[in-house]
Amino acid sequence: MKGILIQQKVFKSIDGNYAENVSDDKKRDNDEYAYSSIILNLSNSVIRKVGKQNTAKELWDRLEELFTETSLPSKLFLLENFFRYKLDMSKNIEENIDEFTKLVQDIKLTGDKNIDDYTPIVLLNAIPDVYSDVKAAIKYGRDNVSLDTVINGLKSKEMDIKTNKTSQSNNEVNMVRGRTKNRNSDYKYRRHSKGRSRSRSRSRSKSRSRDDRNKDDKTKERRCYNCGLKVIT
């Protein structure tokens, strides 16, 4: 919020660092502009908490009172969540890092300036078993571990897992296609074999029929060698 007011050149209404030649009308205009900018960037619940404030400076002070000064129990709660933090594998690494960074920023707002010294180790300990090889690679063989080293290692591992899953999925698809192709080939072969068997069977049947007819004809046309008359057997 401070950055917005500085960009709009009205933060002087908060710190009061005006030049001597600035008129009261100019100060009043700046105050109104700063007040409206702050209000427009607050949620309805926060607006209800700050209540009615008459100037931008009063509004600013009230916000600092509500959200900057952190009680000891709140600070301890944040630190407990920080040191117990674990990666949620139902989310991607980027989402986990965003949550972790927000937690670190909340602790910094309590006035803890040394929290950055612990962030690499805490994030390293937050790594689940599925990323155990990353954890081991970062832990051993290094004199110092930075937060960027841990984050880059996690992102690299996530990319490897995605690549392996894609490769495995493609192999499974190819195997299914291969089995389907083999089944189709076997089916065509069986149909072709059955067709040839039926054709040979019909050919043999026709051949036997012709032989039987020829035999019958020969039987019917048999004649006596002496008298020339047909002999019926």
> pLDDT of 124-150, one tens digit each?
999 988 888 888 888 887 778 899 999
Please, which residues bridge with residue 223 across strands? 230
213 or 141, higher pLDDT: 141
pLDDT band for position 123 (50/70/90)? Answer: very high
Q: Look up tokens 């010294």; give the residue.
A: 117
CB contact burial 80-119 (16+ within 10 A = b; e otherwise): eebeebebeeeeebeebbeebeebbebbeebebeebeebb
Q: Is the pLDDT of residue 18 over 80?
A: yes
22 or 205, higher pLDDT: 22
71 or 63, higher pLDDT: 63
Quote the pLDDT of residue 39: 87
Quote the pLDDT of residue 54: 86
Quote the pLDDT of residue 205: 56
Q: Is the pLDDT of residue 99 over 90?
A: yes
Round to whole Å and give the CA distance between 52 and 59.
8
Least confident of 31-35, 162-166, 176-180: 176-180
Neighbouring CB atoms inside 10 A of 60's CB total: 22
Q: Is the pLDDT of residue 226 over 70?
A: no
pLDDT band for position 233 (50/70/90)? Answer: low
Question: Which of 144, 162, 79, 158 minimizes the C-alpha distance to 114?
Answer: 79
pLDDT more than 90, % of the chain? 21
DSSP character at residue 118: T
Q: Is the pLDDT of residue 105 over 60?
A: yes
Q: Is the pLDDT of residue 61 over 90?
A: no
Mean pLDDT (whole number) for 82-87:
94
